Amino acid sequence: MKLNLTRVGAAVVTAGLAASLGAVAPVPALADETSASSTAVETAAAGETTAAGETAESKTVATIGNATYASLDEALVAAQPGSIIELQQDGVIAKTNAISKAVTIKGNGKFSVKVTAQSGTDDGRLNISGAGSLTFDNAKVSFGNPSNWSVVMSDSGKLSFVNGSSATFTQHGIYTVGSGVEINVDKSSLTVSGTPCTSLMNEYQNGKGYAKINVTNGGNLTIEKAYRLPGVRVNSNGATGFAINVMNSDLHVDGNEDQGLVRCITKLDASKATISGNDYGMTGYAGLDNLTLTNGSKLEMANNKSAGIFLWGGNVDVQDGTELSITGTGAEGVKQDLGFTGAIACKSINPDSPANVNLSDGATVSLVDNPAGAINSDGNIYVGKGTEILRNGSAVEVGGGIWNRGTVTVADGAKLYNNHASKAGDDIYSAGVMDFKATGSDWQLDGNLGNCGHAIDGWYDDAKGNRWSAHSDAKKHVEAVEAGKLEGALALKAAHGLACVDYAYVGDAPSDAVLPSTDVDLAFGSAYTAKAQASVAGWTFDG
């Protein structure tokens, strides 16, 4: 795609949009607003009032050095590369159209900027291209374009919010082209909310690469509530095609109608994030480090409809000292689908390049209470000893804990029990390579979804048509399976064996007394009558 440095034609962006998102439907225009630049400035001495009853000083919206400007648009036209524009009152950018030089707008914590639809560009976009760089310093900024993207960036274009700035995008978000583009949020916040299509879209195809988003030094990036207009087929994702680096900051990607993050290279470094309430929390691709948690980072993923983390391939690395929590996946009643649903789901496009997920031993990972199941994968997954996989699968048929068609290794110390599946393999359902350890000494069934409340003592067969049962209310099927590295069909439940009753004397007993024989293979919960002690001359027995 080729973008003109000063103007992005409607056909150019529409073509890119059609290739990536589908057409963006028009929405009702905002009511007309009169900016400071549309008001005539009358010459007056300092302190002298104009015909409108205002002083000349009050007409100054912005300054560059000693020069004064009646509108922010005028100041941007006059600015030279590297210029700093100081706001003297709230300003509006409505006619600037394009930024092709480095400019900083300082609000000094007092003044705001409204970036409306640009009157001189097709569909109202503000274009940042070439060496263009627009920085807002300690300013409150709002962007809104009802017709199309609010900002389009290409070449080496940069858009930055620094030093306590806060920025919001509504109506439409940002469209970028290629790896030279940067969006920076430093000690500031950026919120893109309620857009009727993808909020942040980068044109990464054909070698263009991944635009960068850097959130640093206590910054906050929120991407939320992207939605579809009725009758319009258009993806409504949070962000697509970015390299997102979050350092000592916060990231929130919540409530988007489709996917939260798509084909993004996301790294959380000493940061906190939520990716919740989307259809798919994040969708990763082969050849990418789709998600990296490092240096004490924490990620919470709750109530994503189909999957928390879905991978066509590529890598997820949850490193020592970090925390990952995925819960509520499938809470809206999504049907289990091969490789597409669950807290972590992998459906490798290329069998020779499967997805790789590392849940490190030193990480705290919670895959708990996901109706769509915890792990549904044909990739390679390492489940570290700090991982718990509990109470998943209330809406699945097989493998509520793990449904494996690739390779899954479960470390000693990981918790994997009290999951559920309606047809087979409550905790493990595998047709691949499954390497797992013995059950924990403190594991116990929880009494929910058909479980009893008894202690767990091992792994048991839980195959379709031959489910584990050690109780009197069903046929008994208690076939122990030894833990290890097993390949092929496997359906297992962490459960317990049958009961046994043996007898022992309390206190002294005659040498010729004979204990009743031990009873074995008794169903838990069944009635039992104790055996009588055979009589011994000269002795009586109590109990």
pLDDT at residue 390 above 80?
yes
Amino acid at site 151: V
* Residue 172 to residue 145: CA distance in whole angstroms: 6
pLDDT at residue 43 above 70?
no
For residue 206, the model assigns a pLDDT of 85
- Confidence tier at 30 by pLDDT (50, 70, 90): very low
The mean pLDDT value for 491-496 works out to 96
pLDDT at residue 362 above 50?
yes
Among 35-49, 71-85, 227-241, 364-378, the range scoring the smallest mean pLDDT is 35-49
For residue 330, the model assigns a pLDDT of 96
Q: Taking the CB of residue 475, how many other CB atoms lie within 10 A of it? A: 9
Average pLDDT over the chain, rounded to an integer? 86
pLDDT at residue 20 above 70?
no
Only one residue has tokens 């909020």, namely 199
Contacts of 49 (CB under 8 A, 6+ apart): 55
For residue 387, the model assigns a pLDDT of 98
Only one residue has tokens 């994968």, namely 377
Q: Rounded to whole angstroms, what are the CA distances from 481 to 328, 329, 398, 430?
A: 30, 30, 18, 14
pLDDT at residue 47 above 80?
no
Amino acid at site 389: I
How does pLDDT run across 172-192, given as a tens digit for each residue? 999 999 999 999 999 999 999
Q: Taking the CB of residue 487, how many other CB atoms lie within 10 A of it? A: 12
pLDDT at residue 6 above 90?
no
- Confidence tier at 326 by pLDDT (50, 70, 90): very high
More confident residue, 505 or 249: 249
Burial of 281 (0-12, 13-18, 19+ CB in 10 A): buried
- Confidence tier at 256 by pLDDT (50, 70, 90): very high
- Confidence tier at 92 by pLDDT (50, 70, 90): very high
* Residue 237 to residue 299: CA distance in whole angstroms: 19
Contacts of 15 (CB under 8 A, 6+ apart): 1
* The two structure tokens encoding residue 105: 């707008």
pLDDT at residue 533 above 50?
yes
For residue 67, the model assigns a pLDDT of 98
* The two structure tokens encoding residue 353: 């390049």
For residue 205, the model assigns a pLDDT of 86
How does pLDDT run across 180-233, given as a tens digit for each residue? 999 999 999 999 999 999 999 999 988 899 999 999 999 999 999 999 999 888
The mean pLDDT value for 504-512 works out to 69
392 three-class SS: coil
More confident residue, 9 or 275: 275
Among 260-269, 288-297, 339-348, 509-518, the range scoring the smallest mean pLDDT is 509-518
For residue 335, the model assigns a pLDDT of 87
The mean pLDDT value for 52-69 works out to 78
More confident residue, 482 or 14: 482
The mean pLDDT value for 16-35 works out to 31
- Confidence tier at 58 by pLDDT (50, 70, 90): low
For residue 517, the model assigns a pLDDT of 58
pLDDT at residue 492 above 70?
yes
- Confidence tier at 4 by pLDDT (50, 70, 90): very low
For residue 352, the model assigns a pLDDT of 87
Among 268-277, 408-417, 509-518, the range scoring the smallest mean pLDDT is 509-518
pLDDT at residue 342 above 90?
yes
For residue 10, the model assigns a pLDDT of 31
Do 504 and 450 contact (CB within 8 A), yes or no? no
* The two structure tokens encoding residue 348: 């490798």
How does pLDDT run across 439-479, given as a tens digit for each residue? 999 999 998 877 888 999 999 999 999 999 988 656 788 99
The mean pLDDT value for 266-295 works out to 98
Among 36-50, 103-117, 281-295, 419-433, the range scoring the smallest mean pLDDT is 36-50
